[in-house]
Amino acid sequence: MSKMRTVLLAGASLLVSAGAAIAQSAATLPQISDNYFVTGQEALLAHLAQQPNVNRAKNIILFVGDGFSVSTLTAARIYDGQTRGVDGESNALTIDLLPYSAFSRTYSHDGQVSDSAPTATAMVSGIKTNNGVIGVDYTVTQGDCAAQQGHSVTTIFELAETAGLSTGVISTARITHATPAATYAHTANRDWEADYQVPADAVGCTDIAAQLVDWPAGNGFEVILGGGRDRFFPNTLADTEDTTAMGRRTDGRNLVEEWLGDSNSSAYVWNAAQLEALDLANTTRLFGLFERDHMEYELDRARDAAGEPSLAEMTTAAIEVLEQNGNGFILMVEGGRIDHAHHAGNAARALADTVAFDQAIRAAMASVDLNETLIVVTADHGHTLTINGYPGRGNPILGLAADSTGLLLGADEKPYTTLSYANGPGAIPGERPDLTNVDTTSIDYLQPALVPIGSETHSGEDVGIFAQGPYAHLFSGVVEQNYIYHVMAFASQIPARAAAASLALAQ
């Protein structure tokens, strides 16, 4: 009998014994038939049956929900259930079903509360750095072009290209925005997305869009999907969708045309119909820019052919292209507009985009072999969203807090919402408004906030990491955010494979 079979049989025997022990220990308890008690036992048995996967990760998919705080997860779970007509509180998102989890400390080198640039850099490069910079170490401060020289760090995406893997990046934000940019860019200022945004005296510093197309790693990205079209086209060229608008580049470069080259298997698309019509099995390189700026919020996204694909649709298309490489792939998928809705103090759109993010995770898991694909789901930082008061079970998550007796009132005898923000545009100076006849479930409603501020801020609390696949069990406890890189690197052995490939090339 093989050693592996012996281990499996022993594990099965232990599980049967554990099940019997659990049943015996509960046999005389009055709550033994209680539904909550039974589901608790079932959850324990499921965890006991769980075995760590120690295969080498052929593929890695890093899902980043921008601004995806724990309170956002809870509220989105309830929102999703209530939207589908089921119990929201006990509802389970795909994220909830991932077997391993940890907490990530999101502070940056110079910030108690971070922005997306250093946090994304931490996840893909393994180091902490300063707010406002991407792909450089903490000796570089925002806007200091001279300091940037010689202080770039190498990302796991660059290593993957060297090792012969395929690479992809997807975002519902501009593809040059901080989180997706961290996979490929090295810049002293996250705002230098196009050439017109780089100061004239920043000699030697290249804009982020140009860095994407000129990326020297391997043969470059195989898949790029997101928003931010105007950063890639010259200001002499009309936009393909909004012909009254022009590109914004002042250097005359058409970066999409440059990226496509003369390859017959490379494709560029800018709407859902074009993406759907592609023969992805015969497409080796795919570039999609679906909006001049950020892509639409999920609640505003047109579902017709001329509209934008969903995050799930982009994810499955990307996987179909990337999996053509027998060496494997690494893909980042960002739900970028969760963050933007929170900044606007608009919980409805934030929660809907979180559900769309979860659907992309589900679609990816259905498209890959989870025995050889490491799935990591996390956030770069949180937001100030809170779930509060004492609303009854099943109360609309976007509604006024209420229980079986009716609306719950503050000391001022006015109702309040279950969701609110610590700061943001929903704050109204002066006396608190009476919300009795206000439709707080409207998608345009801005949740109340304490501190009036034009754009709600990030928060500094830990965020979740949820994982499945090879070495996912290494995510446990409270870890530094840059630890995510080190798990992905170890699970895939990408750095070692890149080093071996470089050595072979040198010889």
SS3 384: coil
As to burial, measured by CB atoms within 10 angstroms (0-12 exposed, 13-18 middle, 19+ buried), residue 91 is middle
Q: Which of 288, 283, 284, 285 is nearest to 268 (CA)?
A: 288
As to burial, measured by CB atoms within 10 angstroms (0-12 exposed, 13-18 middle, 19+ buried), residue 422 is middle
Under 8 Å between Cβ of 249 and 194:
yes
User: Phi and psi (nearest 5°) for 352?
Assistant: -65, -40
Which residues are within 8 A (CB) of 181 and not within 5 positions of it... i.e. 6 or more apart? 117, 120, 134, 135, 175, 187, 190, 193, 208, 212
Q: Which residues pair with residue 105 across a beta bridge?
A: 480
DSSP for 301-345 reads ---STTSPPPHHHHHHHHHHHHTTSTT-EEEEEEETHHHHHHHTT
Query: How far apart, in whole angstroms, are the C-alpha atoms of residue 190 and residue 187?
Result: 7
Q: How many C-beta atoms lie closer than 10 Å to residue 100's C-beta?
A: 20
Q: Can 116 be counted among the known catalytic residues?
A: yes
Residue corresponding to tokens 């519902």: 172
Sheet strands side by side (includes 449-452)? 385-387, 419-424, 449-452
Under 8 Å between Cβ of 461 and 69:
yes
Which residues are within 8 A (CB) of 264 and not within 5 positions of it... i.e. 6 or more apart? none
Please report the sign of the dihedral spanned by the C-alpha atoms of residue 401, residue 404, residue 409, residue 413. Answer: positive
Q: Which of 226, 240, 125 is nearest to 184 (CA)?
A: 125
Q: Which tokens sit at 241?
A: 């969708």
SS3 152: strand
Helix/strand number for the chain, H first, E second: 15, 17
Tell me which of 116, 125, 166, 459 is the catalytic residue: 116
Under 8 Å between Cβ of 313 and 333:
no
Cα–Cα distance list, 328 to 62, 319, 325 (Å): 14, 10, 6
The residues assigned a catalytic role are: 116
